[in-house]
Amino acid sequence: MLVFLKENLVLLSVPKTGTTALHEALKDRADIVISNPPELKHSPVYRYNRWFRPMFSKVCDKEPELCAVVREPISWLGSWYRYRQRPLIDGQPTSTKGVSFDDFVHSYCRGKQSPYANVGSQAKFLEAQPNGCAVQHLFRYENIDAYHQFLQARLATTLDTKKTNVSPSGDLSLSMKTEALFRRKKPEEFELYNSVT
């Protein structure tokens, strides 16, 4: 999470949407940088609302605007799947080594997911809160240039991002049957993505 007090902007870090590269590029420009632990760096709207919003309301003249990136749901799962193939976690329950992407998505769609498929939800991460706390500026990962242009204009700075935290390559073959299952079981993920123009 990056906070820009003068510009009245908070950048939420949705996992697997290129936020690490953005953090690296803007950390010296931000007033507050939350990079660890991951539970705080990747604070969803509900956690921001509960922990950070009350603090900012004491020091900010007006409510900070929230900004975030959402990724196409199959691509987002694909990034998680490939990330969990890294050798560092071989043999651990969260490793996807030896698991097909099709099986990974099947497990993600279950009520009780396997540890390797328990990766959260973009829709839940970005869900507006009953008190009105919500993301005002939402961009598609697949159109990251629009996000960068918005930030450069809002922050009056030039962005120079470098690829970091890139997942290893992997086979992302997905059967039509499994894709249909994913769309049926998790429609909120696709509704969120499709709501971003």
Q: Is 56 left (phi over 0), alpha (psi -120 to 50) or beta?
A: alpha
pLDDT tens for residues 8-27?
A: 999 999 999 988 888 889 99
Nearest CA to 17 out of 159, 125, 132, 101 is that of: 125
Chain-centroid distance, C-alpha 3: 16
SS (H, E, C) 148-161: HHHHHHHHCCCCCC
Distance CA 42, CA 11 (A): 10
In a 3-state reduction of DSSP, which class is residue 95?
A: coil
Domain ranges for the chain: 2-194
pLDDT tens for residues 131-185?
A: 999 999 999 999 999 999 999 999 999 888 776 666 667 789 999 999 999 999 9
Whether domain 2-194 has CATH 3.40.50: the reply is yes
pLDDT tens for residues 83-96?
A: 999 999 999 999 99
In a 3-state reduction of DSSP, which class is residue 123?
A: helix
